[in-house]
């Protein structure tokens, strides 16, 4: 049975980009009605019609739809009453006084975590290529390599520089490669072969530092390459970035698909919506014209159907992927018409459709600030 608490907890991941708070703490959720597998959510905006309305409605619908047991979601938006606006102002002012931003990741940034149930499914390759493809499409993109032990993104992007701090802000400055801002533990250790012998608490602290002490700046998307499985990093991420959403990577093999289900289960238990599934190593096209299903077939589609989410892309086996990753040349930058490169670019475009960039011409936060200024004028 879906409970009101399940819905409210999930709605804490829907944020107002300008005020930096979620719609629950800002008092924008007016009611939650549950009838069987159907949920209706009432949301009050400072004005009923504004550019931000669609984003909040879509975020609300997608997150609530991800709750196990929910089949249908209705979102009803209304205009705030004067009393509701006053309450929102009070919360906004309190957050400002308490230094509202808990991380250096802007609330307008869309956060997409790339996860997998086990290693060896090409998760990092997908994270790197999707990030670069988004940058090629004109978006401001950051890539956080949260696979603390198994970092591989620096080599895949051809980066040999080391992270340094901004002398003025004292914040870590990401290294830029292929138009993407990159942060990885591979950029702070002596050599690529150095083993990081860190336990769980150190892993969470490393992620916290990457989120709170890195000068990310204004980004449209932050892609996070997660370690495989459902451990400390994944749990820390849901706590520190409640706006994060998950993409699950699997191979066509049924055994891999069954393991990947656990990642999706972890995400949903943590109130992190699953955007969709990417199937990697889907088949090898032979010069003879046949496609060889080296790792089986159907696992990605079956996983997507089981989770009730889209199959974002099915990426074929491609001989260009490995040398491209070894030599800092992601396949999306290839001019040879690489099948995997084409599929990766399509995956990035589909992700932009499913998780569109925040509309910076917002009105909920902007009007809230104007109203605050008006309220403070002498009568």
**Rounded mean pLDDT of 158-184?**
92
**Confidence at 51, pLDDT banded by 50, 70, 90:** low
The answer to whether residue 39 scores a pLDDT higher than 60 is yes
**Rounded mean pLDDT of 185-209?**
77
Higher pLDDT, 44 or 144: 144
* Mean of pLDDT over the chain: 84
pLDDT score recorded for residue 25: 86
**Rounded mean pLDDT of 252-258?**
82
Q: Determine which of 74-83, 96-105, 114-123, 267-276 has the lowest per-residue pLDDT on average.
A: 96-105
Q: Which of 173, 165, 128 is nearest to 147 (CA)?
A: 128
143-162 residue pLDDT tens? 999 988 888 999 999 998 88
pLDDT score recorded for residue 119: 85
294-353 residue pLDDT tens? 777 888 999 999 888 999 999 999 888 888 888 999 999 987 788 999 999 999 999 999
CB 43 within 8 A of CB 28: yes
The answer to whether residue 101 scores a pLDDT higher than 50 is no
CB 142 within 8 A of CB 343: no
Rounded CA gap, 23 and 311, in Å?
Answer: 29
Sheet containing strand 274-279, edge to edge, reads: 175-177, 180-184, 141-145, 221-225, 110-116, 245-250, 274-279, 311-314
Q: Determine which of 103-107, 122-126, 137-141 has the lowest per-residue pLDDT on average.
A: 103-107
The answer to whether residue 131 scores a pLDDT higher than 70 is yes
**Confidence at 53, pLDDT banded by 50, 70, 90:** confident
Give me the percent of the chain exceeding a pLDDT of 90: 45
Give me the percent of the chain exceeding a pLDDT of 70: 85
Rounded CA gap, 77 and 145, in Å?
Answer: 38
> Does the pTM exceed 0.85?
no
What are the CA-CA distances from residue 13 to residues 19, 42, 223, 264, 342 (Å)? 14, 16, 17, 17, 32
The domains of the chain, with CATH numbers, are 4-102+359-375 (3.30.300.130), 110-354 (3.40.50.300)
75-97 residue pLDDT tens? 998 888 877 776 776 676 565 54
């Amino acid at each position: 049975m879906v409970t009101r608490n399940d819905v409210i907890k999930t709605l804490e991941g829907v944020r107002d980009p300008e005020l930096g708070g979620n719609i629950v703490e800002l008092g924008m959720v007016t009611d939650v009605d549950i009838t069987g597998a159907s949920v209706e959510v009432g949301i009050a905006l400072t004005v009923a019609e504004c550019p931000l309305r669609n984003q909040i409605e879509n975020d609300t619908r997608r997150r609530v739809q991800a709750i196990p047991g929910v089949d249908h979601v209705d979102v009803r938006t209304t205009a705030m009453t004067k009393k509701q606006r006053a309450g929102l102002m009070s919360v906004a002012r309190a957050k400002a006084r308490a230094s509202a931003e808990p991380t250096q990741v802007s609330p307008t940034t869309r956060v997409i975590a790339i996860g997998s149930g086990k290693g060896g499914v090409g998760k990092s390759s997908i994270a790197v290529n999707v990030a670069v493809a988004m940058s090629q499409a004109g978006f401001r993109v950051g890539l956080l390599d949260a696979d603390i032990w198994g970092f591989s993104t620096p080599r895949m992007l051809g980066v040999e520089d080391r992270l340094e701090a901004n002398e003025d802000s004292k914040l870590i400055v990401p290294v830029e490669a292929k138009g993407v801002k990159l942060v990885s533990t591979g950029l702070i250790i002596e050599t690529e072969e150095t083993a990081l012998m860190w336990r769980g608490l150190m892993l969470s602290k490393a992620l916290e530092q990457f989120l709170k002490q890195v000068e990310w700046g204004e980004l449209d998307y932050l892609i996070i390459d997660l370690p495989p499985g459902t451990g400390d990093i994944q749990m820390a991420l849901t706590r520190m970035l409640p706006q994060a959403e998950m993409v699950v990577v699997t191979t066509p093999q049924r055994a891999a698909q069954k393991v990947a289900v656990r990642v999706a289960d972890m995400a949903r238990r943590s109130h992190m919506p699953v955007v969709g599934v990417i199937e990697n190593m889907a088949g090898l096209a032979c010069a003879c014209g046949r496609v060889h299903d080296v790792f089986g077939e159907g696992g990605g589609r079956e996983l997507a159907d089981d989770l009730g989410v889209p199959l974002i892309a099915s990426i074929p086996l491609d001989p260009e992927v490995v040398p491209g990753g070894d030599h800092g040349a992601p396949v999306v930058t290839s001019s040879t018409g690489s099948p995997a490169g084409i599929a990766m670019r399509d995956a990035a475009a589909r992700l932009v459709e499913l998780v569109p960039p925040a509309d910076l011409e917002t009105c909920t936060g902007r009007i809230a600030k104007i109203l605050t200024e008006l309220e403070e004028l002498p009568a």
